[in-house]
Homo-oligomer: A and B are copies of this chain.
Amino acid sequence: MSDGQSIVVVSAHAADFVWRAGGAIALYAAAGYRVRILCLSFGERGESQGAWAEPDMTTARVKEIRRAESTRAAGILGADVRFFDSGDYPLRPTDATIDAMVEELKTLQPACILTHSRLDPYNFDHPVAHTVTLQARVYAQAMGHPAPGPVLGAPPVFLFEPHQPEQCGFVPQVLLDVTPVWERKLEAMRSMQAQGHLVDYYSDLGKRRGSQAVRNGGRKGIRVAEAFERVYPLVVEGLL
């Protein structure tokens, strides 16, 4: 149980955090951390095909649907969400958005930060989310940045596995056993009605990474895992 600690997850669109880090979120929530999701856009253009398939749909209604879905999924995982509505396809965070992210980081002082990978030729919003997250973290460390709150330390940053990892130069450095919270992630994924076809894809991926976790030295009971890449070196007091 972690009293008063938090982690921050920056998600380009309303659903990314569910598929890519739902297990990590549920683990930390279950361990007593506050998990704060900064959701940069509703994914109203790019990942709402389910909603757009309905007649007479409008952008405003798609956003509402996505907000509701995303909030519900976050709730299932044990997290809360702040929506920035910075648009998608393209995602365009303003200086004000970045300043607000800096303020979140200085206020929350998260123990770690999760966000998207550096490259993704299938989705150009993901690298944008990556970049503004790393920028906000660095700005929050600076004595001279005007956002309120104490300066941030150097929390580690973990990058989500993208949809087609090899095409994005993503190499798993960390395999996180999410077996204990898998039912919760599954429930959260199923609650995302607009992209229901992805539940199977990410369930299979969870098994794949779980199988690899066992092969890379994890305990035999691991059934599902999530893969992450680190941006900065891991600082340790022992190698094991």
Residues of A in contact with B (beta carbons under 8 Å apart) = 7, 24, 27-28, 31, 44-46, 48-49, 51-53, 59, 62, 89-90, 95, 98, 111-112, 121-124, 131, 134-135, 138-139, 142-146, 153-156, 158, 164-167, 170-177, 201, 204-205, 207-208, 211-213, 215-218, 222, 225, 227-228, 230-240
Contact = CB atoms under 8 A, between A and B. Distances in A.
B238 A139 contact: no
Given A122-B215, A177-B235, 18 more contacts: A24-B239, A45-B142, A45-B143, A45-B144, A48-B144, A52-B144, A89-B142, A90-B95, A90-B98, A90-B139, A112-B239, A124-B134, A167-B172, A174-B239, A176-B238, A177-B237, A205-B208, A213-B235
Q: Taking each of A45, A175, A176, A235, which has the highest tally of chain B beta carbons within 10 Å of its own beta carbon?
A: A235
Contacts of A173: 173, 230, 233-234
A223 B154 CA distance: 17
A153 B216 CA distance: 9
8 contacts: A7-B239, A27-B238, A28-B239, A44-B144, A48-B143, A154-B215, A166-B170, A217-B235
Contacts of A222: 235
Nearest to A144: B45
B236 A175 contact: yes
Given A124-B138, A233-B172, A204 B207 contact: yes
A144 B217 contact: no
A231 B45 contact: no
Nearest to A48: B144
- Between A154, A236, A240, the greatest number of chain B beta carbons within 10 A of the residue's beta carbon is seen for A240
A187 to B, nearest CB: 21
Given A238-B176, A240-B111, A233 B208 contact: no
A164 B211 CA distance: 10
A123 to B, nearest CB: 7
A142 B233 contact: no
Contacts of A205: 208
A173 B84 CA distance: 33
A233 B227 contact: yes
Given A45-B145, A204-B208, A233 B131 contact: no
